[in-house]
Amino acid sequence: MESEISRRVQPAVWRLKAQPESQQVQALKAELGGKVADLIIRLLLQRGIHNFDEAQAFFNPALGDLHNPFLMKGMRAAVDRILQALDRGEGVLIYGDYDVDGTTAVALVYRFLSQYGNRVSHYIPDRYKEGYGLSKAGIDFAWDKGFSLLITLDCGIKAVDEVWYAREKSVDLIICDHHRPGEVLPAAVAVLNPKQGGDAYPYKELSGCGIGFKLVQALASRLHHAAEAVRDYLDLVAVSIAADLVPITGENRILMHFGLRRINSHPCLGLQALMRFSKKERLAVRDLAFVLAPRINAAGRMNHGSLAVGLLTETHPEKARDLACEIDRYNRYRRDLDQRTRAEALAQIFQRKEENRMSNVVFSPDWHRGVIGIVASRLVEERYKPTVVFTESDGQLVASARSVPGFDLYKALAACSDEVLQFGGHKYAAGLTLHPSRYKRFKQRFESVVSTTITADQRIPIRWVDAEIRLKDIHRKGYRTLSRFAPFGPGNERPLFLTRGLKAGPHTKRLGQGGAHLKLQVFEPGNPTPYPGIAFDQGDWFERLRDGLDFDLLYSVDLNVYQGASYLQLLIRDIKPADGTAG
């Protein structure tokens, strides 16, 4: 079944991004002093950088360029109420979602506020008993324990009924969320969300932890902290940005830049304990997303999100190490479940002959609720269709949904809302709940909505090429400038290059279990210099390359360090037989 599925996965189409006009290139080059390579100028223009000041801000992020937090609607009311609570000795409960964004946000705000009040605590809802978002059980906990102020982080923007329930119990709410608001906002003391109507805050794409950071930034200014004091929390913000796949542009780029610097110099003890699983001296965005974030997530998926908050707020090194090891065990268990569930979901699609549908909707009552979001992401990667993965929980069906680039999953679910008990999320990721009797109707409706709204371009994986170059254009000096385009991520991807008509050298070989990967030696015509490259999950190309196939290569450039030596290598994203076209 695996080999059959692999053959049916649609190959990516390569498309060259719009290239700047030569006049634009020369104008920006002149403004930057005339010594910057044309390739770098073109890459800057593609990223919307058109003058010296914009280039300066791009290459030299500064904390001073962060926006004033009081520009955010509701910030003054939120800060006033929190300071009032601290002054009066009220109980303050910090409530957050159980994923990476929520737990980092709770840890950040708790670490700051606990300096000023001994009645500050935190609460993470049980993923399986309470579900996503602000729960009445959480409000009851606040009321029972005497917390008169509850601050939500990364959730609550649609908790209209729950906020009224809290008000009946004399529990005030401050909502800090970054998800898309509904038509009616909760009647809280303050709502912090740049996406709400009438909010003039200049940057709309903060993570949930980013919203928490802005709240702390505002509180710190009112408490007369030095501006540098908030830097201590940027490690948590960086992890949230990487995990939640928000754009690494504008303010997020500044937060990620300094957050990575913090992580690689003075991370909190919890992150430091997790970092040993990376086996790297310095972490990049990818390491945050694929090493730290899955482990933090595993706590809430396999046990309880409070474990993650406990780790991220721990002040004793030994306890932090023990918690990190416990969370890593949960992550290994999660990974095994993920692989098994993915295989069962793929088998379901093909056994039912649903591979020609425009969407994937699958269900099993036996699937673990903690892995269905990961499995939905895997299915999107492999089948390249909007995907919903259901399991059963407390007599209802719960699902995680993921989308392909460009297709608005949230709108598609909204069009099916009469079949759904509740849903929420982003353009590309969402969760939903429905009654078991509605599953077949939802599946039909979702397929109908997707098939009538998805465009041709959204049905095929597209790799957007920044520039077509020759291998001889790759050198240390150029790489040093390219490396300053980091941090890379959504909205600022690592530059992707195309070179045509290449040959594999004699030292090309297969690596990894079953020869899944390739270590290449690459030559281009007329250039005797070999270029090393690594191609993950592309071992099937080995025989054709060894037999002399001319091929085109899609790749990024990276610096590989091994046993004290360093060299440039090609991070190969895709290989195609040389045919003279980009796709």
Which conformational region is residue 518 in: left (phi greater than 0), alpha (psi within -120 to 50 degrees), or beta? beta
What's the rounded Cα separation, in Å, for the pair 459 and 453? 11
Instruction: Say how far residue 198 (Cα) sits from the centre of its chain.
Output: 27
φ/ψ of residue 224, rounded to 5: 65, 35
Instruction: Say how far residue 186 (Cα) sits from the centre of its chain.
Output: 27
Tens of pLDDT along 292-323?
999 999 999 899 999 999 999 999 999 999 99
pLDDT at 385: 96
Which regions of the chain carry the CATH code 3.10.310.30? Answer: 355-459
Residue 487: cis peptide before it, omega within 30 degrees of 0: yes
- Looking at the structure, give the CATH architecture of the domain made up of residues 355-459: Roll (3.10)
Side-chain half-sphere exposure of 6, counting CA atoms within 13 A: 7
Can you name the CATH fold of 69-268?
Answer: inorganic pyrophosphatase (n-terminal core) (3.90.1640)
Which regions of the chain carry the CATH code 3.90.1640.30? Answer: 69-268
In a structure prediction context, what are the per-residue pLDDT tens digits for the chain, which is 583 residues long? 344 444 345 689 999 999 999 999 999 999 999 999 999 999 999 999 999 999 999 999 999 999 999 999 999 999 999 999 999 999 999 999 999 999 999 999 999 999 998 899 999 999 888 878 899 999 999 999 999 999 999 999 999 999 999 999 999 999 999 998 989 999 999 999 999 999 999 999 999 999 999 999 999 999 987 777 789 999 999 999 999 989 999 999 999 999 999 999 999 999 999 999 988 888 999 999 999 999 999 999 899 999 999 999 999 999 999 999 999 999 999 999 999 999 999 999 998 888 889 999 999 999 999 899 999 999 999 999 999 999 998 899 999 999 999 999 999 999 999 999 988 877 888 999 999 999 999 999 999 999 999 999 999 999 999 999 999 999 999 999 999 999 999 899 999 999 999 999 999 999 998 999 999 999 998 889 899 999 999 999 999 999 999 999 999 999 988 777 889 999 999 999 997 555 4
Pairing relation of β-strands 147-153 and 91-96?
Answer: parallel
What's the rounded Cα separation, in Å, for the pair 569 and 539? 18
Block residue for tokens 């994986």? 461
Q: Residue 316's closest CA among 272, 259, 282?
A: 272
Spatial neighbors of 559 by CB under 8 A, at least 6 apart, are 479, 483, 566, 567, 568, 569
The class that CATH gives domain 2-60+462-577 is mainly beta
pLDDT at 581: 54
Q: Which amino acid, 446?
A: F
> Model's pTM, two decimal places?
0.90
Which regions of the chain carry the CATH code 2.40.50.460? Answer: 2-60+462-577
Spatial neighbors of 447 by CB under 8 A, at least 6 apart, are 357, 358, 359, 361
pLDDT at 427: 85
Residue 521 contacts residue 506 (beta carbons within 8 Å): yes
Tens of pLDDT along 407-417?
999 999 999 99
Residue 575: strand pairing partners: 553
pLDDT at 4: 41
Instruction: Say how far residue 45 (Cα) sits from the centre of its chain.
Output: 25
Give Dmax (Cα) for the chain.
Answer: 78
